[in-house]
Amino acid sequence: MAINGISFGNTILGGSVRNLKAQMADLQNQLTSGKKSTTYSGMGANGGFAIAARAQLSNIAAYTDTMMKINTNINVANTALQALSDIGTQLQNAALSGSQALNSAGQTAGQQTAVAQFSSVVGILNTQAGDRYIFSGSEIYTQPVVSSDLILNGDGAGRAGLKQVISERRQADLGASELGRLEISSPTATSVAIAEDASPSVYGMKLQSVSSSLTGATVTGPAGAPPAISIDLGVTNPADGDTVSFTFDLPDGTSETVQLTASSEAPTPAGSFAIGATPTATAANLNAALTASIGALAGTSLVAASAVQASRDFFGQPPQRVDVIPPATLSTATAAVNGTAADTVQWYTGDEGTGSARATSVVRVDASVTVQYGMRANEDAIRSLMESVALLAAVTTSPADPNAADQISALNARVARNLSVEPGSQNIRDIQVDLANAQTMMKDATARQKLTQATMQNIIDQAENISTDEVASQLLALQTDLQASYQTTAMLSQLSLVKFL
């Protein structure tokens, strides 16, 4: 009978002991590190879940970092928007209650304040958050607004600023006779007519309507091309207190009414015309009174309305200029022409897309959620504020002009009205609400991500981490097995052929 050598058994036992020692080393490493393994392959079936969970946590961390940056940008934007809103409120209050006293430069104290405020508005609109301009739409690395001096004064090299555009429009609206491009005549000895000087024309005052209680008078119009109104007193003088009213449309969309009352008082009261000895004399008096009243209206409300419209023309896209193609001059022009980059300052240099301003900056903050937070300096609410502040800053009035006080009053009234929020029009608060909605969406996304984060971390912990109690128990059991293996090894090491037999 063949007898195997003891070394065979020792070889198997030795391998068993080495395996037990390796298991003990692994368990000791787990107990020290708290982890099941230093590699995902050592985690078993749960390793794949841990990899997927960590990938999702990485995405959440990226979203969190993005939302922190966007919230910073939005907070900067809100501060800027609130500053713009405050300037608008201050300007409106100043326009409603400001002094009409002019300094040597032809401006009121309120207008001088507007000059400083306009520089502030331009600075605010050129605000940067990090390395991006927040009011440039998608052109985030382009400064959106040129300097306030360039906007107001032009560059002196052929590009007109706001002041020049206002001056040109004023001349076109007033006309050579400074009657608002209206012509007053006496077709017959007993009649008075008033007509626009050209049709079609975008300049000057437009005849809207006429109403009369003049005894025996025949009133017609506005009718014809150009539109005209005619008043024929006939053979009868009007009675004391009879009135005739003319309503005119002004360039900025407002309207004004001139009412004249027949009067036999001497001297003739303001706003009246003298009843003469005959209808012919009365018609001459009506003609003179109407000419004076329209001249006063043109020198006050029309000048103010013209400046308002000129500011709109300048800040429009493209800007509008008085068309003076020969033989037309500023006082006879009838049409407008687009200003170009070569002849007119282009105040806004950012993104000029036609889509939503908010959509110019879009970022993903969750797997299924994006937020929009872009802005443009040429949005309606911001542009409207720019127009009003720049208008007050640009207009000057001669202290020697007898209509100066009324002219400033008409201008202030229009600025104050334009700074009021019209129903259906965008205002700065609307932009702030849009940004607040974006922040709310990010806040909701953060709340969801925190729940997901907790769930993913739990999956990772279950896949990667160990239970110290369980590992300790396994170590004790392994120590017992190892001790038994050592005892068996010791016994076998003493075995000889004689003992075996």
Phi, psi of 369 (to 5 degrees): -130, 130
Does residue 1 surpass a pLDDT of 90?
no
Residues 391 and 311: beta-carbon distance below 8 Å: yes
How far is residue 289's CA from residue 186's CA, in Å, rounded to a whole number? 13
Contacts of 226 (CB under 8 A, 6+ apart): 195, 196, 197, 198, 199, 201
- Give per-residue pLDDT as tens, 310-363: 999 999 999 999 999 888 899 999 999 999 999 999 999 999 988 999 999 999
DSSP 439-478: HHHHHHHHHHHHHHHHHHHHHHHHHHB--HHHHHHHHHHH
Does residue 51 surpass a pLDDT of 80?
no
pLDDT of residue 353: 87
Distances (CA, A) of 120 to 12, 123, 347, 419, 453: 89, 5, 15, 17, 45
How many CA atoms lie within 13 Å of 145's alpha carbon, on the beta-carbon side?
26
- Give per-residue pLDDT as tens, 283-317: 999 999 999 999 999 999 999 999 999 999 999 99
DSSP 303-352: HHHHHHHHHHHHHSSS-EEE---TT--TTT---EEE--TTTB---B-S--
Which one-letter amino acid corresponds to residue 499? Answer: K
Does residue 407 surpass a pLDDT of 90?
yes
pLDDT of residue 487: 59
pLDDT band for position 231 (cuts 50, 70, 90): very high
How far is residue 244's CA from residue 211's CA, in Å, rounded to a whole number? 6
- Give per-residue pLDDT as tens, 166-203: 999 999 999 999 999 999 999 999 999 999 999 999 99
Tell me which of 33-42, 72-81, 118-127, 397-406 is least confident. Answer: 33-42
State the chain's mean pLDDT as an integer: 87
pLDDT of residue 276: 97
pLDDT of residue 371: 96
- Give per-residue pLDDT as tens, 244-267: 999 999 999 999 999 999 999 999
Which residue has better confidence, 439 or 99?
439
pLDDT band for position 145 (cuts 50, 70, 90): very high
Cis peptide leading into 402, omega within 30 of 0?
no
pLDDT of residue 471: 52
pLDDT of residue 477: 62
Percent of the chain scored above 70 by pLDDT?
Answer: 81
Does residue 438 surpass a pLDDT of 90?
yes
Tell me which of 221-225, 376-380, 404-408, 419-423 is least confident. Answer: 419-423
Phi, psi of 261 (to 5 degrees): -115, 135
pLDDT of residue 363: 95
pLDDT band for position 13 (cuts 50, 70, 90): low
Percent of the chain scored above 90 by pLDDT?
Answer: 69
pLDDT of residue 96: 85
pTM over 0.75: yes
Task: Provide mean pLDDT across the span 411-426.
Answer: 91
- Give per-residue pLDDT as tens, 123-138: 999 999 988 999 999 9
Task: Provide mean pLDDT across the span 433-461.
Answer: 86
pLDDT band for position 499 (cuts 50, 70, 90): low
Question: Could you tell me the end-to-end alpha-carbon distance of the chain, in angstroms, rounded to an integer?
Answer: 12
Which residue has better confidence, 10 or 297?
297
Which residue has better confidence, 494 or 447?
447
Q: Out of 3.40.50.300, 1.10.3720.10, 1.20.1330.10, 3.20.20.150, select the CATH number for domain 60-145+348-446.
A: 1.20.1330.10
Task: Provide mean pLDDT across the span 456-469.
Answer: 62
Does residue 8 surpass a pLDDT of 50?
no
DSSP E strands, 44-172: 128-129, 132-133
Does residue 3 surpass a pLDDT of 60?
no
Domain range summary for the chain, segments of one domain joined by + = 60-145+348-446, 182-313, 473-501
pLDDT of residue 228: 98
pLDDT band for position 9 (cuts 50, 70, 90): very low
